[in-house]
Structure 1
Amino acid sequence: MAIIKLSAIERRRLSAFVTCLVLAIFAWLFTSLSNPYKYTVRRVVSFRNAPQKRAFHPLQPDTVNAIVQGTGWQMLFSKFDEDKKTIDVDLRTLDVKNYVVLSAQLRQINAKREVGREIIAINPDTLFFDFSSRTVKRVPVELVTAITYQKQFSQSGNVIIKPRYVTISGPAEALNRITSWKTDTIKLNDANEDFNARVNLRGSKEGNLNVLPRSVRVNIPVDEYTEKTIEVPVKLVNNHNYYDVKIFPQKVKVTLTTSLGNYPDLNEDDFEAVADLELWRHSGYSVLPVKVTRLPSYSKVVKIEPQNIDFIIKK
C-alpha cells in the first residue's frame, strides 16, 4: 500500500485547512441553529377552573400537538426539555358551552412560557366534552409506603390515618371504577422512630374529578424489637369423639420478637397454641406438631420448644 509522505510545510498547510473547515462547519451550525423555526411538540393538557355543577368527560385524548415558534437550538433540545410539559386549559366556558377553543387562550397559555418560545397554534384547536350528572362518593384512603427500617426496628402498631375516608365528586361512570384513593408515597430509610406528618393525596388524572380533603395526617408507630420467651399451654383441637387424651408436655416455650413497648405486658393469655388430633386419626401421626394460632399484633414467632408433643389416648 502506497503511503503519502508530506513535508513539514505540507503538514502544516493540511492542519490549517482541517482547522478552518471545522471552524467553518461550527460557524454554519451556530448560525443555522440561531435562526427562528416552527416545530411541533406533544403536550399534556391540564384542566383548571373546572365547572362545579357539571360533570364532564373529554371526548379526545389528553395530549395535543403544539406548534412552537423558537430557535433551532430550542428545537434541537425540545425532546430533552422536561419543563413546561403541560398546557393549562381554562374550563370556565364549559358553564355555558360543551367545548373549549384553545386558540382563544393562547395569550394566557404563553404567559407562563419563556419569551421567544411561544406556542403559535395547537392541534386540535377545539376540545369537546360530554356532560353527565355529578355524583359524590366516599372511599377509603390507601396509604402508599416505601419504608426500610433500621436494624431491630419495625412497625409496632396499626397505622392511623385521619381522616380515614375522602370524598370524591364527578361523573357516576368514573366514580364506579374507584374503590380507594392513594396517597403520595411515604419514603423513609433506616426508620427508627414514629412517623407523624401530613401526607398529600395523589392528584386526579382526570380534570372532572374533585377530591376533598387534599391531604391526610398519617401516624406510623415504630419501635425497637427484642426477643421474649413465654410458656404457653397447648390446647387440643378436633377431638370430635371426645377421647380422653393426655398430652406431654402440657406447655411449650414460645420465643418471639416483640416491641419494647409491648414487652412488659405480654403473658400467656395473649397466645394460643394448638395441637390437632385429626393428624392422628387420618394421617397416623405418632406425635402432634404445635402451632401458634393467636399472638399479639406485630409480633413474630421465632421458635417453639418442643415443636412436637407426645400424647396418650385412654380408651
Structure 2
Amino acid sequence: MDSVQFKKYYTTVKNFLLGPKNKEFLIFLFFFFVSAAFWLLQSLNETFDVELKVPLKLENVPSDVVITSDLPSDLNVMVRDKGTVLVRYIYGTEQVPVRVDYKDYDKGNASGRVSVTLLDVQKKVQAQLLSSTRIVSLKPDTLEFFFNKGARKKVPVKLAGVVETSPEYYLQRVEFTPDSVEVLAPSAILDTITEAFITPVYFSDLSANEKTISMLRPVRGAKFIPDQVEMNVMIDLYTEKTVEVPVFGVNFPGSKDLRTFPSKVKVTFRVGMSRFKEITADDFVLAVTYEELMKNRSPKIQLHLKSMPSGVSNVRIDPSEVDYLIEQVQEENE
C-alpha cells in the first residue's frame, strides 16, 4: 500500500468514526468501560470464598514398602480473602504441592493403615498463602494411606454387572486374561479378599462376541497387580436338535421288567451351535421307577427326564406319555 492509498484509507476511517452518530457511540463506549473498570475495582475489594486445588504428595517411602492405597492427589481448599488477593491465587502461579513425609508417620504400625493429621496439612497449606487469607475448610476431611511390607496372594477375577444376549443367542462364557491377579494389602484386609471383581459392566441384546478392557473394582487399602484385565464375552447361536432316547425301568424286582410302547421317544432341545455334535442321546436319561408305576392308575405313564446335559434348554419329549406293560421275567432255573 503506497502513501496515497494509506492516506485515503486513513481519511475514510477517521470520517467514519468521527461522524455525528459514531462519535456519540464512541463516547458511550468510553464511559461504559470506565464504569465497568470502577465496578470491577469495587468488587475486588470485597471478601469472597474460593475453592483452590492444592497438590498432595507422599514422599520418602522406603523401597521395601508398597503403598496399596495412596493419599488423594489433590486437596480442595476453601479460602476466604479480598478479590484482589484471590485473583492472584486463581490466575497466578500453580500451587506448590503439600508434601507428607512417610517417615513422620512410620511408628511401626502393624495394621498397615496410617492417618495423616489434618492440622499438620493445614499448616503447610497456610504457609503458601498470604497472612490475610483464611482457610475455611479442607476436603477430604480424612487423610489416610495404606501400606504393605510383603503380604500378598492370588485371587480369581470375577464378573460384576449384567450380560444379556438377543433372544436367538445365549451367553456361552466370559473369559478374563489374566484370570487371576495378585493382591497386596495389610493382613487384616488381605484376609477378607477372596475375589477381584471388575467394575460393573452392562451389555444388552448382544449378537456378537465382545472384547474389552475392564478395570478392577478398587478396594480401600488394597492394590491389585495388574489393576485391569481383558474381558472376552463369548456368545453362541441357538439351534434345535432331536435325538431318540430309550425309556428305562428303575428299581424293578429281578422277576419283573418294563416294556413301553414305543420303546424310544424323541427328545427335542435347544443347544448352541458349538455343542451341536457334542450332545447325543446318551446324555439324556428317561427312567420310570417301579414305585411310580405301582401308584399309577392309568394305562399310560407320563415321561420325565431324570438327567440331561448342561447347556440345553426348551427340552420337549414326544410323545410325552407312553403305554407300558410290566412283564414277568422267567427265572433261568425254571
The TM tier, using the shorter chain, reads: 0.5 to 0.7
For 1:166, the equivalent position in structure 2 comes to 181
Preserved contact between residue 140 and residue 166 of structure 1 (Cα < 8 Å): yes
TM (normalized to structure 2)? 0.58
Output the amino acid matched with 2:79. Answer: Q
Preserved contact between residue 244 and residue 265 of structure 2 (Cα < 8 Å): yes
Q: Does 1:150 align with 2:142?
A: no
CA shift for structure 1 position 130: 8.7
CA shift for structure 1 position 124: 8.9
Superposed, which structure 2 residues align to 1:2-81 within 5 Å?
Answer: 36-38=47-49, 53-54=64-65, 68-69=78-79
Structure 1 gaps, min length 5: 1-30, 41-45, 72-87, 111-117
| The 10-residue stretch of structure 1 (97-106 or 211-220) with the greater mean CA deviation from structure 2 | 97-106
Cα distance change on mapping 1:48 and 1:305 into 2, 3 Å:
farther
The structure carrying a bigger helix percent of its residues is 2
CA distance in 2 between counterparts of 1:57 and 1:194 reads 34
Cα distance change on mapping 1:178 and 1:233 into 2, 3 Å:
same
CA shift for structure 1 position 274: 3.1
Preserved contact between residue 249 and residue 309 of structure 1 (Cα < 8 Å): yes
Q: Does 1:298 align with 2:314?
A: no
Match of 2:192 among 177, 196, 215: 177
CA shift for structure 1 position 48: 7.0
| The 10-residue stretch of structure 1 (193-202 or 305-314) with the greater mean CA deviation from structure 2 | 305-314
CA distance in 2 between counterparts of 1:102 and 1:55 reads 22
Structure 2 gaps, min length 5: 1-41, 82-96, 107-114, 329-334
Preserved contact between residue 139 and residue 166 of structure 1 (Cα < 8 Å): yes
Secondary structure at 2:105's aligned position in 1?
A: coil
Output the amino acid matched with 2:304. Answer: V
CA distance in 2 between counterparts of 1:187 and 1:48 reads 36
Q: Does 1:94 align with 2:102?
A: yes
CA shift for structure 1 position 123: 7.7
TM (normalized to structure 1)? 0.61
Match of 1:201 among 190, 212, 216: 216
Match of 1:289 among 282, 303, 324: 303
Cα distance change on mapping 1:36 and 1:275 into 2, 3 Å:
farther
Cα distance change on mapping 1:215 and 1:120 into 2, 3 Å:
same
CA distance in 1 between counterparts of 2:165 and 2:286 reads 30
Preserved contact between residue 56 and residue 171 of structure 1 (Cα < 8 Å): no
Preserved contact between residue 163 and residue 202 of structure 2 (Cα < 8 Å): yes
Match of 1:103 among 113, 116, 122: 122
Figure out how many residues of one structure are paired with residues of the other and give that number.
Answer: 249
- C-alpha RMSD over aligned residues: 4.6
Match of 1:189 among 198, 201, 204: 204
CA distance in 1 between counterparts of 2:315 and 2:141 reads 66
Cα distance change on mapping 1:124 and 1:269 into 2, 3 Å:
closer
CA shift for structure 1 position 35: 5.2
